[in-house]
Structure 1
Amino acid sequence: MNPVLPGEIAIKSESDIVAARRTVRDAAMQVGFGMTDVTRIVTAASELARNVFKYAGEGAMTWRQLEEPGRMGIELRFIDHGPGIADVQLALQEGYSTGAGLGLGLPGAKRLMDELDIQTASGQGTTITLKKWRMI
């Protein structure tokens, strides 16, 4: 199995969300995740890419392969320079939304992945890092 090369995709339009989904699917499969986990990873990536576009207008997604003793994984990072998240704990509650959505994006991504980290500052943007692991 060849290592996944790290990369970055700009998120500026709806078509970039589709490209991010496709890229994440390919990278997750290359890392060796099964179809169930690939679907989970792609779903989480899709939610966060959509949030970048919807709330910040534009941003980027980066990805890279992770390797530690006994496990491999994938890291996805969503970066924007939008308004930031005013209340992270509230944003992580299912059903809470500052837009017209269902409020499932952040809590759903957290549930689908193994790790989620949010760095945000009002008026400066948000960086959300997701990780998913598999045993080797």
Structure 2
Amino acid sequence: MSISTYLETAPLFEITKYSGNPPKDGVVFSGYPRQHPFEPEKLIFVYDPLGTNPIIMEFKLCDILFVEDQPSVVTETGESLRIVKIWVRKGAYGVIHEPFEVQDTLQFINTSRSLHERLLRSLNK
């Protein structure tokens, strides 16, 4: 199954929005939400969806503390993407889906390190 098929299997997930200020005990991520195609208690989140290397993340819905709509963006093909900021509970566990090339030896560790450094830099802005 391709990544695009995986992300398009289920319709956009409507996240409950809370009123008030964002929580102080959460970490903010900005990106494109999708309902997990197989586990309804989880959210697929595409971080930096129009960047050169978008990151596909997965969070439990119970760990999302606050959601704020951002202006939608339009891709080169004319598709509109709903962009949101989500605050995820500090200490929660998420999953990063990371592509790799299948060869005799995998370069997975170096790829992971650069991915993690890029994500940390963007979160610390």
Fold equivalence (TM over 0.5): no
Q: TM-score, normalised by structure 2?
A: 0.30
TM-score (norm 1): 0.28
